[in-house]
Amino acid sequence: MSKDIAQTEAKGLPRMKPATDILETGDGFFIYVDMPGVRKEDLVIDLSDDELRIGGKSAYHGVANENRIHVEFGNVEYTRAFTLSHIVDREKIKATLKNGVLELHLPKAEKALPRKIQVELE
Amino acid sequence: MVIDTSPFYGGMDNFDRVFNELWGPLNISQRRVAYPPLNISEDADALYVRCEIPGVSVEDIDLTFTDSTLVIKGERKIEKGKYFRQERPTGNFQRVVNINAPVDVDKVKAVAKNGLLEIRLPKSEDTKPRKISIDIMN
């Protein structure tokens, strides 16, 4: 397949906002993004300034010689952006892709973590 | 907190819905009607049922095939924490697929990869079209 054809096909994919959960735990934030069918090599994560942008194309294959009987999903292009709070430690952001779910761990910076303060009795 | 500033920010409003309908693949017949979404196809040797179930581990999927009915059951577990946004479906799910073709039950195979479950149901030998040679008598 030539590069031009590949680009045209990519443009033709319907764009979709992936279902996302954002939650906070004691040490930071977790973002879970449903991206079924997306391979690791097709996943794009960009962090610039305060914006975290994720994207990916699902790549289903093996249906070329098959006769389709019923269709409810197909290849799509996922795209979504998040703005990060200043309490996130940008250097320690981790991303894992497992079972079609992108998990982003955004740890809080040391200064933002809750601290116990000792009270001294006189 | 983390703020979501996707161009499609917020839930699905009417505009989003219309937009998604317009841009959706043309051959989609029942999108978002049932969970998980599934595709059914066939070739000469087998029927294929594929469904999108991201985040479900193989141990949490229960597949049964009885009386030409395939039942896909499972559970999407919820993560613990303080939720700012929750859009991913959670809890138990089930879909029933009627297979109107004789299937070789012993050879049914299921594979899960990248959030996609693929079930291959081989057609039983009796139903495959066979070439019959006809002798022409002069």
- Per-residue pLDDT 10s for chain B (138 aa) are 666 665 555 555 565 666 555 555 544 444 456 889 999 999 888 999 999 999 988 888 999 988 889 999 999 888 888 998 899 988 999 999 998 888 888 899 999 899 999 999 998 877 666 677 778 776
Interface ipTM > 0.95:
no
Strand partners, B75: B92
Please write the tens of the pLDDT for every residue from A36-52.
Answer: 999 999 999 999 888 99
Partners of B1 on chain A (C-beta within 8 Å) are 22, 24, 29, 85
- Which residues fall within 8 angstroms of residue A49, CB to CB, at 6 or more apart? none
Q: A101 in the Ramachandran plot: left (φ > 0), alpha (ψ -120 to 50) or beta?
A: beta
Q: Which of residues 50-69 of B touch A (CB under 8 A)?
A: 50, 52-57
Distance from CA of A3 to the nearest CA of B (A): 23
Name the nearest CA neighbour of B4 among A12, A80, A45.
Answer: A80
B27 has a chain A CB within 8 A of its CB: yes
* Residues listed for chain A: 122
